[in-house]
Structure 1
Amino acid sequence: MKILTLSPLSLLLLPHLAHAAYVLQDDYNAQNFLSKFTYFTGSDPTHGFVKYVDEQTAKSKQYVRPNGAQIHVGVDHKSKIPFNPADKTGTGTGGRESVRLESKTLYTKGLFILDIEHMPGGPCGTWPAFWTVGGGWPNKGEIDIIEGVHRNSVNMMALHTGPQCSVKGLKQKALVEAPNCDVKAPGQASNQGCSMKDKGTASYGDAFNAAKGGVFAMEWTSTHIKVWFFPRGSIPKDINTPNPASWGTPNANFEGGCEFDKKFKDHKIIFNTTFCGDWAGGVWGTAAVDGGAKTCVDFVANNPQEFEKAYWTINYLKVFKQQ
């Protein structure tokens, strides 16, 4: 029998060989960010009280703009919006102007790292999200990395698929709200998917913004989808030459009874801020709300000043692929 021997150098390299190395695929920064996205202008799929504007409008009204080394992505916070009080969703009368950016590049697997200093979460009526999704929803899957409504203080992470995909939530910080990723799963709310609720308050809303944000990382492989959040003072030193194996317990770990290569493919990256709609509007009566408005639409339509802080400040977005 031939015995394999390793050189001293090989022994030193073993820890680094235990995982596949990531190399930079796309770097979204202040110089090129806006050119890498399209502007969605259709009706909001989540039935929000929102009017997504085109590129020309977004730039002329300064909803999107470079701001030094950062990118600003905001909403209208100056106009009162006419609406029919009998239309409780407001979808029949347009809505508050906002931006929905969708990446021109499609991705299947990879490591997605987002550094943001400010997110729109906090004002009542808002429903911001940073997520990825494939065409023919939900057949190619959806991955929600940042999401919340109103004055939520914790981040929600979720996957949405068709049948036969569930997760166990192994070795993670978040609480499993629902394990079945099927948007029509019995015993779960419609389109709930497999959702996980972060335990800490640092990763969403007012607390996140007060601390100048931080970094979110989503690793998508054939066996799992993991999400980490690192507050501004705790970002790993290797974030630009990433080794997720060294980052410790993820905030969310979607792993278990799901064939990820079949359920998730060809995703575009999306940033958007909507108002009210299926989630934020649906829980208005139970949320801590301002102004005494009876409906979410009433509040969003008549209080433009509340949405001055409903903006993203993005430092960079980087997508890495395995070698």
Structure 2
Amino acid sequence: MKPQLVAFTATLLCLLAAPAEAYYTVLQESYTPSNFFSKFNFYTAYPTHGFVQYLSKADAAARGMIRTFPDAVYIGVDNTTANAFSGRASVRLESMATFQRGLIILDLEHMPGGICGTWPAFWTLGDDWPNNGEIDIIEGVHDNAVNSMALHTSAGCTITGAGGTGSLTTSNCDVNAAGQGPNQGCAISATCTNSYGDGFNANGSGGIYATEWNSAFIKIWYFPRGSVIPADVLGPNPAPETWGPPVGMFQGACNIDQKFRKHRIIINTTFCGDWAGNVWSDHPNCLAKEPTCNAFVQNHPEAFADAYWRIKSLRVFSS
């Protein structure tokens, strides 16, 4: 082999073997305590039939349900009304900005999970549901111990779950998929009990959730506080290709660019409703307190003192 060809081949092999460079270099949106609530709309409808009253920004602030601290924001629920006969007050935030692919990094100290009657979620959503898709990053109900991640789409999207550390629950992302529950979508459950609810909140100031959405896949990582967290996760140039396997790996027979378009970020806590209300009897610790989910939420305000989000930062990078 000629010396020039040997040199070229060696250089090519080095380039192929070299780790990929960080490619999320554009910070598209940064939500910090100083600007957080100015970048969200306060939604006041009832899309999942929850036993809830979503408040406007002014009403939520007046009742102390949203607060700003130097290092975090607080998003809570009503925990004082003794007989909330028409639903308990809460907050649902929807980002003013929309996103098409990218990297979403949430630095979270506390979440509302682990409480009977609650259904908290951190997720993204496109208009004309389900045709433009839904990505559930943090979600659970009642006293669930692990986080549930899911995609919801129109027909024609399935995943294998291979490549992630989570457990595949359902593989068909179609909200009307045969053999799956209504609107179950394709779901992956985390396996560690510090990923959601009480376990998360007991984990020394929570942790970081990162979601990478591109044309080939959607990945969700969880880094508990106190574990080895990659240094670049909270830096200016995060490089998810170096983070190891995600908890949730959503990839398969699915045209992601077609099924997921122009999403808003949503943060909310609802009560009962289509999921939590329908599985009340599956949670014996909750069923022992009241015969129905609505009755518990109505009559036990003291149970919801810890049903709050405390968010340090939320950043969205584009590639």
TM-score, normalising length: structure 1:
0.91
Paired residue for 2:290, among 290, 293, 300?
293
Whole-Å separation in 1 of the counterparts to 2:183 and 2:144: 19
Deviations 1:51-71 (A, max 9, x none): 000010011111111022100
User: How far off is 1:295 after superposition?
Assistant: 0.5
The amino acid that maps onto 1:293 is: E
Aligned length: 310
What is residue 29 of structure 1 aligned with on the other side? 32
User: How far off is 1:154 after superposition?
Assistant: 0.2
Task: Look up the SS of the partner of 2:77 in the other structure.
Answer: coil
Deviations 1:130-172 (A, max 9, x none): 0000000000000000000011000000000000000011111
Whole-Å separation in 2 of the counterparts to 1:129 and 1:34: 17
1:22–1:243 CA contact under 8 A, matched in 2: no
Whole-Å separation in 1 of the counterparts to 2:245 and 2:213: 15
1:184–1:191 CA contact under 8 A, matched in 2: yes
2:21–2:239 CA contact under 8 A, matched in 1: no
Task: Look up the SS of the partner of 1:233 in the other structure.
Answer: coil
Pairing 1:50–2:42 present = no
Deviations 1:191-221 (A, max 9, x none): 0000111111111010110112000000000
Task: Look up the SS of the partner of 2:73 in the other structure.
Answer: strand
What is residue 279 of structure 1 aligned with on the other side? 275
Paired residue for 1:316, among 290, 313, 317?
313
1:50–1:275 CA contact under 8 A, matched in 2: yes
What is residue 220 of structure 1 aligned with on the other side? 213
What is residue 307 of structure 1 aligned with on the other side? 304
Task: Look up the SS of the partner of 1:285 in the other structure.
Answer: helix
Task: Look up the SS of the partner of 2:114 in the other structure.
Answer: coil
Pairing 1:250–2:242 present = no
Whole-Å separation in 1 of the counterparts to 2:62 and 2:9: 62
User: How far off is 1:6 after superposition?
Assistant: 8.8
User: How far off is 1:233 after superposition?
Assistant: 1.7
Pairing 1:238–2:241 present = no
For 1:1-323, what aligned pairs fall within 5 Å after superposition?
Answer: 3=5, 5=8, 15-17=18-20, 20-42=23-45, 44-83=46-85, 94-211=86-203, 212-234=205-227, 235-239=229-233, 240=235, 241-287=237-283, 288-289=285-286, 292-322=289-319
The amino acid that maps onto 2:272 is: C
Unaligned runs of 5+ residues in structure 1 are: 84-93
1:179–1:194 CA contact under 8 A, matched in 2: yes
Structure 1 residues 28-37 or 232-241, which shifts more? 232-241
1:81–1:95 CA contact under 8 A, matched in 2: no
2:188–2:248 CA contact under 8 A, matched in 1: yes
The amino acid that maps onto 2:243 is: W
Whole-Å separation in 2 of the counterparts to 1:112 and 1:307: 28
User: How far off is 1:19 after superposition?
Assistant: 6.4
User: How far off is 1:23 after superposition?
Assistant: 2.6
Structure 1 residues 61-70 or 271-280, which shifts more? 61-70
Whole-Å separation in 2 of the counterparts to 1:186 and 1:17: 40
1:168–1:179 CA contact under 8 A, matched in 2: yes
User: How far off is 1:81 after superposition?
Assistant: 3.0
Whole-Å separation in 2 of the counterparts to 1:257 and 1:18: 28
Whole-Å separation in 2 of the counterparts to 1:30 and 1:246: 29
1:75–1:311 CA contact under 8 A, matched in 2: yes
Percent identity for Structure 1 against Structure 2: 49
Task: Look up the SS of the partner of 2:208 in the other structure.
Answer: strand
TM-score, normalising length: structure 2:
0.93
2:122–2:267 CA contact under 8 A, matched in 1: yes
Task: Look up the SS of the partner of 1:299 in the other structure.
Answer: helix
Whole-Å separation in 1 of the counterparts to 2:257 and 2:84: 46
1:291–1:299 CA contact under 8 A, matched in 2: no
